[in-house]
Structure 1
Amino acid sequence: MAVINGTTGNDTLNGTNQNDIINGLSGDDQIYGFDGDDRIFGGSGFDILNGDAGNNTVFAGGSGDLIIIDNGKDTVFGGAGDDTLQSNQSSATTDIDILYTNSNFGTISDGSRFSQIESLILNTGSGNDNINVPAIERAEIYAGEGNDTIKSGFGDDILRGAGGNDFIDAGGGNDLIDFVEKSYEAGTGIDTVIGGSGDDSLYFERSDVDTNLTVNYSNINNGTVSDGSRFREIENFGFSGGSGNDNILITAASAIIIGGAGLDTIVSGAYNDVVRSETGNDFVDVGGGDDFVENNGGIDTLIGGSGNDALRLVYESATEDLIINYTDINNGTVSDGSRFKGFESIFLNTGSGNDEITIGSNIEILDLYSGAGDDRLTTASGNEYLYGQDGADILNSNGGNDTLSGGAGSDTLTGGDGRDTFRFDNPTDGVDQIVDFNVNDDLIEILDFNFDSELVEGNTISVEQFVIGSSAIDSSDRFIYDDLLGKLFFDVDGNGSTAQVQFATLDSGLALTNANIFVL
């Protein structure tokens, strides 16, 4: 038998293959018992105590320790402080029973015992496990493939059921319950979940499921899934569907829903929900609340409902020409057949076609990113961001304080009324035509990284860096405005040997100054 003593500092102590006595004393220690039936004393400080093989006895001490037991029949005394017991039984094929209804006495069916433990981290295997730990303040329990029963207490817990027919009662606290099914056809579990008091979250992962699912949660005391699963008292519900044609009705909780590849119907209620419609022709109605909806393919019907709702239309991979019209908040159309209404904010990404996008004055927030084609973007709403990307684009914003960026290609930019910003990422992206630049209201933004390292990010350019004329006069000049022709140039070395590059055309005769050019 070996006796191993630490110091008052932070020690790493390793046992032998005998029955050891290991004393950590003070300090934040790491102690590994290895083989043998060891007695481990953590002492003061935050310690990591791992008995490893053998039937070990662990005394944690008084500062809040992590105790790891995986093998053997161990006895653990947590003591004062906030102690965590961690056990990985994921390779177990037999049933595991854990009972901890009294903080002074907890048992595990392998013969282990523990007391005065505040937190539990547990992984179980393929057996039918029974985990009843209401005396635990915080639990992270990852159940395996068996038919498991999990009951936790009043803490904020994370509870995961995998395969099998599981029963979970989360008790009080703000809990997260997660079900991940590896294969629906191989035997999806029929699960029962009780959220209990607190703000509880339940997530069903069914992305591998290829059959049709129906989920109904219109009553907080009665949520059902067509596979036989049931749940209740859940405040936040998450669902990820597969390739089946799913019917999802969630009105009793806030929802995060990913429809999957099938022809899905998704209806949510008065909460603030997030819904992602993927491939397939889907119907989405998010009802009340401030919701976010994203489509990712398919001919969809999308309804925002009441509240301040946002819609993201994703057509980045589209190669055909798209026509998108949203001049009436009750009638938005896409030339692929999709329809939408009731959204106050629009975020749009298009592909390589020559797209025509028209947005009316009913939109509060608008971000449009057109793709590689020669696109026309016309808006009449408030404060917008229009980005043309590649191609010779036409960007028209008729009101509000807007930001327009043509991207690569020679673009035509019209800001309209309001204080508008015209953004340039690279001086060699092409020569953009700014139709209505107003020196009193508008601003030109340039990206410091692609222009000149001597420019000061977050400020307008200096007086010395701006000149009116046809070319630079001295080495300090960087931006040259030809007021006779309206051409705006950038010159990386002023009157040096490198030629100036035109990147924009404005009206001629403007009283343009350095204050109109801002460095990002």
Structure 2
Amino acid sequence: MTVVNGTSEADVLSGTDGNDQLYGLESDDVLLASTGSDELDGGDGFDTANYYAITSGINVQLATGAATVAGPDGKLDTLVSVEKIVGTFSNDTFSSSVAGVTLEGSSGDDVYIVSAEDVTIVEQDWAGYDELRTSLNSIKMAGFVEKLTFTGTGDFKAYGSDTDNEIIAGAGNDWLWGGDGADHFVGGDGYDTVSYSDSLEGVRVEDFTNYDGLTIAYGDIFTGIEALQGSGFDDVIYRHKDSMSIDGAQGYDTVSYRYAFDVANVVIGNGSNLAGDTLLNVEEVIGSSGADRFVVNASGVKVAGGIGDDVYTINSTGVTVEEDDSFMGGTDHVYTSLSELRLSAFVELLTYTGSSDFTGYGNDGDNTIVSGAGNDVLLGGAGADNFEGGAGIDIVSYDDSAEGLSASLNWGVQSGIAFHDVYIDIEGLRGSQFNDVLEGEWGDNVLEGGGGDDQIQGGEGNDHIYGGLASGLDAAGQSDTLFGGLGDDVIIAARDGLFTWVSGDEGNDNITLGRGVAYGGQGNDVLIFNGAGPSSVGGSGFGEQGDDTYVVDTSALVTIKDEGLDAHDTLILNTIADASQLSVTRVGDDVYLHSANDGSSGVPDNGVRLVDWYAGFATIEHVQTADGQVFELPAGGDGFAMFG
């Protein structure tokens, strides 16, 4: 056995073809292995064992207290105090469970098996197809190592190099970063994520058409990967097949299914999706050429279904839907649980899936709007729209119309934007801000005129009819004509209307009027004069047949003529405190009931005027003041003598 000793300097030592002992002693030495079974002892310093001269691949085993190198023809070297090993030009295997060593495979297809931290691997770009196998739970690939395989247990974090890598995950929930290069990510049994958070710019993932703006994601492919994470910039991620969870991270991120092999089935925001992708922190989604399905649980998202019959389920505000305006755009449907939603252009169907009250807006096309179980308000816009109500009181509103219109729940005349509209299980209509004609039907309807001079005809049910709006937020200056029709109706004139003509028609009606004329019609009616409008202008009431009740605010002058022969008509003066505050003035055949403190002389301009009272129309049997005291009037024209 030949023994070769070095010096205190940096030596290069070589042995014979036999079994040698090389001792580097001090400084940084290079020990050249030969064909025999050698003992290579580097001594002090950073020492290298070099196997360039060996013509076949070697197998390096580095463990605590034992370091061996197996070569061809039974060669077996022992290494002592060696910090770096340089392999052959053939296919070498390096296995290290000790830290602080450097492994250089040279050329050939080399395998590195690493189970310790702080192991340095050196490869060249011409040096074959090299693989790193590790049981460590986190590792970064060295440059020009092409393949990384995780052999350990638990969750794994892998960082690729700037070249083309193949990274194979394990059985845990692993995170994989490929870096530059066209990388192949292979998932294992767990939930595996590929991340581009290390990118210094926005990435374009699986963009097979983007040859002008390459990013670190260009050429990357995914096998068995469950999730993708974007960069901190504006990303574009193209989806083609398989289901994934995608987190766009920061920036304005787009996920496109334009080139997908199948239709898109997507949940955007929180939620699970067993049939397709789940997207988080994504600002724009582009559909495929087929019938896509989008569930949107995140706000601030733009979703473009494109061509095909697309379905959108929108559960969050601030969502924009874009559809194709051609015939290839298909018939598109939006489902929503939001309390208010407006259809985007070229979307045809809207269905409410929630449980509260809903306000739904159509677009300028032909829409079908389906309400829910609450009291809903539906606005179709232009186009021939179908409205389908639910269990509550549902109203079709034309408040957005730019002109007056005619609308009928009874298959009557339709005009304006209501032309060709169809109502199914709809209980009410609301007019525009212009002059409208509205008609009810056999059920209990709610009819609201809105602004303008409206004509409203109730139907056979117990209707609520408003000259303005049920909310009382009426436009001033309107003159309406309101008919109750059959049934026990509630009719309320616009509070600040110029003049309203009301007929309760048949039934026991309740009519509220500011100024205008009210006819109770047949039945036991209640006519309320609320004193709205200028104080010098009141209304006129004609109770007609039945036991009628007149409720009057005496700040204006209200004219009443009750021609009915029933003996139970009542006048309630709700702004005159008690009998001591009531004055009675006769002017011709009329009697005026007014406040004793109004200071009027001559013909009063406030209170109540009972027409032809002294000419045989003394048909009010009871008078009640604000304190609740009721006075029964004796028959005959002098019934008010008791008030002096």
TM-score calculated relative to the size of structure 1? 0.45
Q: Which has the higher contact order (CA 8 A, sep 6+)?
A: 1
Greater CA radius of gyration, 1 or 2? Answer: 2
